[in-house]
């Protein structure tokens, strides 16, 4: 699975001025409504409920909030680079500034896991994260996220 299959340039925002984890999740839900015509309320509820099970801050300033809920027809992604890092209760206790959210249909078991694995592999790369942190241009961020997949697949 390529990131370009789940993420469009219109789903990349930077700089985002969220000041808390709660505000960030709401901003992501609002983006899901604007970009994918999903219910902001349902997306926020699903993301918040998933976070209550355990934080999705994976360390090194990266978070991958994800949730499944009715109303999503396929796995979709949202990426934001925060203007200032926020506390996300990450495993390394570092605030996050790179956030890739995934929203999936309730029945999308394998597809959701494939997308999560792809995002995780991409954002595990220190080189890719450094490139992402070097710009606030949404087009450049999208290019970095999508071009690196072809290189890694080789």
pLDDT of residue 26: 98
Give strand pairing partners of 76: 103
Mean pLDDT of the chain: 93
pTM for this prediction: 0.93
Q: Is the pLDDT of residue 140 over 50?
A: yes
**CA 108 centroid distance within chain:** 17
Which pLDDT tens digit goes with each residue over 55-70?
899 999 999 999 999 8
Q: Pick the catalytic residue: 66, 81, 112, 149? A: 66
pLDDT of residue 153: 42
Q: Is the pLDDT of residue 151 over 70?
A: no
Provide the 10 A C-beta neighbour count for residue 24. 23
66 flagged as catalytic: yes
pLDDT of residue 71: 86
User: Counting Cβ atoms within 10 Å, is residue 109 exposed (0-12), middle (13-18) or buried (19+)?
Assistant: exposed
**Which CATH architecture fits 3-149?**
3-Layer(aba) Sandwich (3.40)
Sketch the domain layout of the chain as residue ranges.
3-149
């Amino acid at each position: 699975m390529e990131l370009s299959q789940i993420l469009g340039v219109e789903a990349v925002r930077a700089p985002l001025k969220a000041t808390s984890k709660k505000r960030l999740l709401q901003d992501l839900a609002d983006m899901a409504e604007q970009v994918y015509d999903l219910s902001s309320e349902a997306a926020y509820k699903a993301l918040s409920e998933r976070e209550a099970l355990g934080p999705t801050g994976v360390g090194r300033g990266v978070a991958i909030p994800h949730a499944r809920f009715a109303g999503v027809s396929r796995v979709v992604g949202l990426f934001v680079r925060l203007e200032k890092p926020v506390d996300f209760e990450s495993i390394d206790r570092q605030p996050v500034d790179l956030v890739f959210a995934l929203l999936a249909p309730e029945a999308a078991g394998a597809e959701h896991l494939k997308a999560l694995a792809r995002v995780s592999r991409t954002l595990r790369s220190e080189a890719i994260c450094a490139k992402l942190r070097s710009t606030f241009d949404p087009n450049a961020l999208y290019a970095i996220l999508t071009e690196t997949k072809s290189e890694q697949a080789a």
